[in-house]
């Protein structure tokens, strides 16, 4: 067996970038910039701090930081020293945060004064060291385990194999308690490489990165991809509809990665003069929005997509030079990936028939190694060498794959399987709808009722009957929502994903309350 390639690791990629583009800006955040050479040097200094704190190769290092230059300094430093980074969602607090701190087994965390009290409130005994990037604040805390960050002597970098672990990425928890996905160096590299290929990223590009860096797409499809290609990564505190085009224009951004909800909000926002002369050339949008062609023409940018997840990497994308023609299409298997669609009975779904996307790769370690400290969940994920995505797809006669639904969001009513994705697409096509989410709620006379939550356009005077009639004119009767609720906002993760489990809980709670009142 040949030794895994040592050049496709985070540490090796950083060292190469510092050699090829030493004086080029690697990362920009607000008015602060850092070159590739400076990033390499300061990352080694952070590594010195970690090693001084007693961390060794393979140890987990928790990272709870806002977007900013410190984030790549910390994670690259960890990679150079063979530590396993554990990014923490900055919205977590209380029991959700305690779960990550405890479950990861991390003995040290890097954070800032903004999150210090949250960490201290739920700090497990195993978390011995808290390194704070705000030195003055850290010194004011009467706790010997809380230390300020001092960038002094560099640490000792470690040669790494592609199969070594580089990160534990916790899921956003949209369906329950977060699980930690253990990621190899090869997995992270391939994800970033494939994203860079889709974007046609080069060292001439300026990549605008509005996603949080604790998010897999923010850290790998943006930051790591830029390290591989020598592009400048422009970080922003968070995604802003009102500032997006101005920010892109001001930094002369050429590439970006957006979630579908972000693109939807940009499409529905009032016309922005900054969008007229924007410099964006190409963007990835996941998933694509229904108004894809209008969006492309309106903003003059090439839009492509892909399918990716922590568990199965980035296995599907449009073929080079091809364009996606509709909002469900995600392309074909990327080189090295093999996919198949399995029905509930374990047989393969024929073309045009939905089935769960299951994935393999030619090389070991490209897909999720396991769920951290969760063998039961791992056994459900990996069956007979296939990683189960939990998402339903159909393949057309040309070999292109189309997203159908997330299996956990699939609905069944009166013997009919219903795609929440399809119902949502029909509702979004209404000119006075900005966003929507559809969930299934148990019913006494059918398997499930279809419940829609709708965010109307500002000032719109929408009614329940208008939404129902709109869907009825475009979809089968069984897909028409049984209930429609208008909302001013949605519960979301920090990356913009709608937390459907909260909407489902709200619908069930409302029904329980009504039932109790009727019985009284």
Q: What tens digit of pLDDT does each residue of 76-103 get?
A: 999 999 999 999 988 888 887 999 999 9
pLDDT band at 2, cuts 50/70/90?
very low
Looking only at the bridges linking them, the beta strands covering 206-209 and 232-235 are parallel
10 Å CB burial of residue 453 (0-12, 13-18, 19+) is buried
Q: What is the structure's pLDDT at 137?
A: 64
- Give the H/E segment covering residue 245: helix 244-251
Judge whether residue 173 has pLDDT over 60: no
Judge whether residue 1 has pLDDT over 80: no
Judge whether residue 444 has pLDDT over 50: yes
Q: For the chain, what is the mean pLDDT?
A: 92
Give CA torsion, residues 235, 237, 238, 244, to 10 deg: -60
For the chain, the maximum distance between any two Cα atoms, rounded to a whole number of angstroms, is 75
Q: Which of 38 and 137 is assigned the larger pLDDT?
A: 38
Q: Are 18 and 37 in contact (CB under 8 A)?
A: yes
Peptide bond into 414 cis (omega under 30): no
Q: What tens digit of pLDDT does each residue of 243-263 get?
A: 999 999 999 999 999 998 899
Q: What is the structure's pLDDT at 477?
A: 82
pLDDT band at 425, cuts 50/70/90?
confident
**C-alpha 313: how far from chain center:** 11
Judge whether residue 493 has pLDDT over 90: no
Q: How far apart are CA 205 and CA 198, in angstroms?
A: 14
Per DSSP, 409 falls in state G
Judge whether residue 129 has pLDDT over 50: yes
Listing from the earlier edge strand, what are the strands of the sheet with 206-209? 32-35, 25-29, 232-235, 206-209, 255-259, 282-286, 302-304
Q: How far apart are CA 215 and CA 309, in angstroms?
A: 11
Judge whether residue 214 has pLDDT over 60: yes
- Cβ neighbors of 447 (< 8 A, separation 6 or more) are 412, 413, 414, 415
Q: How far apart are CA 174 and CA 493, in angstroms?
A: 7
Query: At what angle are helices 113-121 and 94-104 packed, to 10 degrees?
Result: 80
Q: What is the structure's pLDDT at 512?
A: 64
**Encoded tokens for 60:** 């987990």
Q: How far apart are CA 360 and CA 382, in angstroms?
A: 10
Q: How far apart are CA 375 and CA 274, in angstroms?
A: 50
Question: What value does the mean pLDDT take over residues 196-200?
Answer: 97
The phi-psi region of residue 30 (left if phi > 0; otherwise alpha if psi is between -120 and 50; otherwise beta) is left
Q: What is the structure's pLDDT at 174?
A: 44
Closest by CA to 283, choosing from 269, 299, 268, is: 299
Q: How far apart are CA 315 and CA 89, in angstroms?
A: 25
The number of residues in the chain equals 520
End-to-end CA distance of the chain: 72
**Encoded tokens for 27:** 């990362």
**CB-CB neighbours of 350 under 10 Å:** 11
Residue 510: C-alpha distances to residues 196, 453, 503 (Å): 46, 13, 11
Q: How far apart are CA 294 and CA 297, in angstroms?
A: 5
Q: What is the structure's pLDDT at 513?
A: 61
Closest by CA to 106, choosing from 137, 127, 130, 82, is: 127
pLDDT band at 418, cuts 50/70/90?
confident
Q: Is 316 helix (H, G, I), strand (E, B) or coil?
A: strand
Q: What is the structure's pLDDT at 172?
A: 57
- Cβ neighbors of 169 (< 8 A, separation 6 or more) are 87, 180, 181, 183, 216, 310
Judge whether residue 504 has pLDDT over 70: yes
What domains lie within the chain, and their CATH numbers?
A: 10-183 (3.40.50.980), 306-406 (2.30.38.10), 414-519 (3.30.300.30)
pTM of the model: 0.85
Percentages of the chain per state (helix, strand, coil), in multiples of 5? 35, 25, 40
Q: Are 312 and 359 in contact (CB under 8 A)?
A: yes
Q: Are 255 and 283 in contact (CB under 8 A)?
A: yes
pLDDT band at 184, cuts 50/70/90?
very high
Q: What tens digit of pLDDT does each residue of 56-75 get?
A: 999 999 999 999 999 999 99
Q: How far apart are CA 132 and CA 111, in angstroms?
A: 5
Q: What is the structure's pLDDT at 6?
A: 55
Q: How far apart are CA 231 and CA 222, in angstroms?
A: 10
User: 């309106």: which residue's tokens?
Assistant: 298
Q: What is the structure's pLDDT at 402?
A: 95
User: 């697409």: which residue's tokens?
Assistant: 425
Q: How far apart are CA 111 and CA 92, in angstroms?
A: 13
DSSP bridge pairs for 370: 182
Question: What value does the mean pLDDT take over residues 323-348?
Answer: 92
10 Å CB burial of residue 186 (0-12, 13-18, 19+) is buried
Closest by CA to 113, choosing from 161, 71, 64, is: 64
User: 């900013």: which residue's tokens?
Assistant: 68
Q: How far apart are CA 107 and CA 95, in angstroms?
A: 18
Q: What is the structure's pLDDT at 149?
A: 94
Q: Are 84 and 167 in contact (CB under 8 A)?
A: yes
Q: What is the structure's pLDDT at 446?
A: 55
Q: How far apart are CA 220 and CA 167, in angstroms?
A: 11
Per mean pLDDT, which of 15-19, 134-138, 470-474 is the most reliable? 15-19
């Amino acid at each position: 067996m040949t030794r895994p390639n040592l050049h496709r690791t985070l540490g090796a990629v950083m060292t190469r970038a510092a050699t090829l583009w030493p004086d080029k800006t690697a990362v920009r955040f607000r008015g602060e910039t850092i070159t590739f050479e400076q990033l390499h040097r300061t990352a080694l200094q952070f590594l010195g701090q970690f090693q001084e704190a007693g961390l060794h190769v393979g140890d987990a290092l928790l990272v709870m930081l806002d977007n900013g230059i410190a984030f790549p300094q910390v994670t690259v430093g960890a990679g150079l020293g063979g530590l396993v980074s554990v990014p923490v969602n900055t919205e977590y607090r209380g029991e959700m945060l305690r779960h990550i701190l405890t479950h990861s087994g991390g003995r040290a965390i890097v954070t800032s004064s903004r999150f210090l009290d949250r960490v201290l409130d739920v700090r497990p005994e195993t978390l011995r060291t808290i390194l704070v990037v705000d030195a003055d604040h850290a010194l004011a805390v009467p706790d010997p385990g809380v230390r300020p960050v001092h960038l002094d002597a560099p640490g000792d970098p470690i040669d790494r194999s592609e199969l070594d672990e580089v990160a534990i990425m916790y899921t956003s928890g949209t369906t329950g308690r977060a699980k930690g996905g253990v990621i190899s160096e090869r997995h992270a590299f391939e994800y970033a490489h494939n994203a860079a290929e889709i974007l046609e990223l080069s060292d001439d590009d300026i990549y605008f990165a509005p996603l949080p860096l604790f998010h897999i797409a923010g850290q790998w499809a943006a930051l790591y991809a830029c390290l591989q290609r020598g592009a400048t990564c422009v970080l922003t505190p968070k995604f802003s509809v009102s500032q997006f085009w101005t920010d892109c224009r001001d930094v002369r951004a050429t590439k970006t990665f957006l979630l579908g909800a972000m693109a939807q909000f940009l499409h529905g926002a009032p016309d922005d003069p900054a969008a007229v002369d924007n410099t964006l050339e190409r963007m990835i949008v996941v998933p694509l929005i229904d108004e894809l062609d209008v969006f492309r023409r309106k903003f003059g940018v090439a839009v492509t997509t892909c399918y990716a997840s922590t568990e199965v990497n980035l296995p599907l994308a449009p073929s080079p030079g091809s364009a996606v023609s509709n909002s469900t299409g995600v392309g074909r298997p990327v080189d090295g990936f093999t996919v198949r669609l399995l029905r509930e009975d374990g047989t393969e779904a024929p073309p045009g028939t939905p089935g769960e996307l299951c994935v393999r790769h030619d090389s070991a370690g490209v897909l999720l190694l396991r769920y951290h400290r969760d063998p039961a969940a791992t056994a459900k994920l990996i069956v007979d060498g296939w990683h189960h995505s939990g998402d339903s797809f159909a393949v057309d006669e040309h070999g292109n794959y189309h997203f159908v639904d997330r299996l956990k969001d699939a609905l069944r009513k009166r013997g009919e399987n219903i795609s929440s994705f399809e119902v949502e697409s029909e509702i979004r096509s209404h000119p006075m709808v900005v966003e929507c989410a559809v969930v299934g709620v148990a019913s006494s006379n059918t398997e499930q009722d279809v419940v829609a939550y709708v965010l109307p356009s500002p000032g719109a005077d929408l009614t329940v009957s208008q939404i129902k009639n709109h869907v009825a004119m475009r979809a089968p009767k069984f897909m028409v929502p049984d209930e429609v609720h208008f909302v001013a906002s949605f519960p979301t993760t920090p990356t913009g994903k709608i937390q459907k489990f909260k909407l489902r809980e709200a619908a069930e709670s409302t029904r329980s309350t009504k039932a109790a009142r009727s019985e009284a």
